[in-house]
Amino acid sequence: MCGNNMSLPLLAEAVTVSGSEKETAAMIFLHGLGDSGHGWAETLAAIQLPHVKFICPHAPKIPVTLNMRSTMPAWFDLMGLSPDSPEDEAGIKKAAENIRAIIEHEAKNGIPPHRIILGGFSQGGALSLYTALTCQHQLAGVVALSCWLPLHRSFPSASSGNKNLPILQCHGEMDYMIPVHFGAMTAEKLKSIVNPQMLSFKTYPGLPHSSCPQEMAAVKEFIEKYLPRI
């Protein structure tokens, strides 16, 4: 199942940026490790369309192995940042289920999954990719910034089979946290999961593990294309 009737603390505490007219679409955006939804809500508000609602949940605080078990906001545990690092499979799957529950909630309240884009930055982008690719619903698209595909060895068999899922993947060419070649490897993997024509992989010279106005302009264009006013 894609979500359930569980309580939704992630949604209750999320930063929501309401549209200026009737909301017929939504973007759920997941922040990176150690961050919160507040900063991304401000960034996204600058590119908002009047009929689109932005939902920016906060990750729960958990001990993170990569940071000496320090407790911080994280969607799942991270053991390392290389493609061969061990992964928190149970945590990734639980986090994806929590995000799917938000999608289900929005659907029950009038915004169907095909009018929802899932997006995120770094660890949040990784979770958005995994969630969208394993969700039984056909979403409007995925925005994956400076990230990778979790549990990549489980694909394409783990995919729900939605081959025509639009994906915008962006990466800074000076990213030393998640190197751009990891992004390129992810893009190649994604081409084996979805129709390659549905994937756009953009890189930005001089950009570190961060975002930039040019990247946000690409995100806005993607939203305009796949969440048109109806």
Instruction: Tell me, yes or no, if 122 is annotated catalytic.
Output: yes
Instruction: Tell me, yes or no, if 20 is annotated catalytic.
Output: no
Question: Residue 98 contacts by C-beta under 8 Å, 6 or more apart in sequence?
Answer: 6, 10
Task: Specify the pLDDT at position 7.
Answer: 59
pLDDT tens track for 1-51: 344 434 577 888 999 999 999 999 999 999 999 999 999 999 999 999 999
For the chain, count helices (H), then strands (E): 6, 9
C-alpha to C-alpha distance for 230 and 135, rounded to whole angstroms: 24
1 inside domain? no
Catalytic residue, from 31, 88, 128, 175: name it: 175
C-alpha to C-alpha distance for 149 and 188, rounded to whole angstroms: 11
166 inside domain? yes
197 inside domain? yes
CATH assignment at residue 189: 3.40.50.1820
pLDDT tens track for 77-130: 999 988 889 999 999 999 999 999 999 999 999 999 999 999 999 999 999 999
4 inside domain? no
3 inside domain? no
Catalytic residue, from 58, 105, 137, 209: name it: 209
Local structure of 230: helix, strand or coil: coil
**pLDDT exceeds 90 at position 197:** yes
**β-pair partners for 71:** 63
182 inside domain? yes
* Six token digits for residue 37: 């939804």
What residue numbers bound the domain in which 52 lies? 10-227
186 inside domain? yes
Catalytic residue, from 88, 122, 128, 211: name it: 122
Give the rounded distance of the alpha carbon of 205 from its chain centre. Answer: 22
Instruction: Tell me, yes or no, if 88 is annotated catalytic.
Output: no
5 inside domain? no
Number of structural domains in the chain:
1
Instruction: Report the interhelical angle of 123-134 vs 89-108 (nearest 10°).
Output: 70
